[in-house]
Amino acid sequence: MAVVAAEASPFTRSLVRSLEASGYFRVVAQPASEAAAESLMAQGEVQFVLHLPAGFSRSLARGERPVVLVEADASDPAATGNALASLQALNLSALDRDLAGPLAHLRASAPAFELRVHRRYNPEGITAYNIVPGLMGVVLTMTMVMMTALAMTRERERGTMENLLATPVRPFEVMAGKIVPYILIGYVQVVVILVAAKLLFRVPMVGSLALLSAILVLFIAANLAVGFTFSTLARNQLQAMQMTFFFFLPSMLLSGFMFPFRGMPGWAQVVGEFLPLTHFLRIVRGILLKGNGWTDIAFEVAALAAFLLAAGAVALTRYRETLD
């Protein structure tokens, strides 16, 4: 949560501490303006923004029930549902210790302040808006890794790998020749998913599809590089298939597709940060649901590029070792 406080008083501090004590919220930023808070939510740095208005304490003491606004990133309804439900109880008890003496009568009446919740990006809480864009990354991860891994091991089993090694092509050229055709296949899958998302599930597409298409090259190539690496380790197609699932299952479970990412244990979040699917899910949901631009997703794109370079370097190193 980020807190935008127009005033600092015992009442505002008690309210923030009550939110943290609930176990659902953790204050990680206190931006100076609403625009800065908006940027943090768009980039996925925070899930909630608490707005405390000016004159909150004075209006509270007068019994005027000041309005407190909570903005929630509802692009993933499962990640915000329980936290938003807890706000109703906090509204009744957050300021009990401070409403003493002359202000004790405020505890016996209606809540001392009015809490308004604004669900951003997915006001109706439709789960399809979160799941369908995520399926794009899951399908690409499963198919791209498997295709490359099986393609190389199939050549080794059929004996055509020796013919390929006898040619004067370099390892990078072999890798590029195996990856480029599958990038086109990946784009075909993306088009099918986007059409189904628009026509069948009515998923909003707020951002730039051109930007998404450009980033897809990195994500598809990163998964293909992983499959190429598996093909240099596996001796047959069965081994390649098993390696593919050892990569795919953690990607699906720890990327934030099946479970809210911030709700996972700390070690699981650390592992998830090393998976390309984690960063792609943030990118595709940010572009389609939030309308994110290049600056909002720059870190996630850099993480994908770093993974692609690392996976490609390992694949090329392993390929050289098999030349003998």
Q: Is pLDDT of 324 > 50?
A: no
Within this chain, do residues 286 and 210 fall inside the same structural domain, yes or no? yes
Within this chain, do residues 29 and 132 fall inside the same structural domain, yes or no? no
Domain residues for the domain of 149 are: 128-321
**Per-residue model confidence as pLDDT tens digits over 104-130:** 555 556 677 788 999 999 999 899 999
Within this chain, do residues 170 and 69 fall inside the same structural domain, yes or no? no
Pick the last residue of a domain from 120, 141, 159: 120
Within this chain, do residues 114 and 141 fall inside the same structural domain, yes or no? no
Angle at the Cα of 70 (from 68 to 72), degrees rounded to 5? 175
Domain of residue 99, CATH code: 3.40.1710.10
User: Scanning the structure block, which residue is given the tokens 């209606």?
Assistant: 110
On the CB side of 187, CA atoms within 13 Å amount to 15
Within this chain, do residues 215 and 271 fall inside the same structural domain, yes or no? yes
Within this chain, do residues 204 and 68 fall inside the same structural domain, yes or no? no
Within this chain, do residues 19 and 63 fall inside the same structural domain, yes or no? yes
Within this chain, do residues 62 and 9 fall inside the same structural domain, yes or no? yes
Within this chain, do residues 144 and 202 fall inside the same structural domain, yes or no? yes
Within this chain, do residues 134 and 28 fall inside the same structural domain, yes or no? no
Single-letter amino acid, residue 137: G
**Per-residue model confidence as pLDDT tens digits over 59-107:** 887 878 888 999 999 998 888 988 888 887 777 666 656 665 565 555 5
Q: Of 177 and 74, which is predicted with more confidence?
A: 74
**Per-residue model confidence as pLDDT tens digits over 149-176:** 888 788 777 777 767 767 777 777 877 8
On the CB side of 268, CA atoms within 13 Å amount to 14
For the residues 233-251, what does the mean pLDDT come to?
91
Pick the last residue of a domain from 120, 143, 159: 120
Q: Is pLDDT of 253 > 70?
A: yes
The pLDDT assigned to 95 comes to 63
Q: What is the CB neighbour count within 10 angstroms for residue 203?
A: 20
Within this chain, do residues 201 and 262 fall inside the same structural domain, yes or no? yes
The pLDDT assigned to 40 comes to 94
Q: What percent of the chain has pLDDT over 90?
A: 56
Single-letter amino acid, residue 306: A
- Measure Cα distances from 308 to 70, 135, 238, 251 in Å: 38, 21, 25, 15
Pick the last residue of a domain from 73, 102, 120: 120
Q: How many domains does the chain have?
A: 2
Within this chain, do residues 142 and 192 fall inside the same structural domain, yes or no? yes
Q: What is the pTM of this model?
A: 0.88
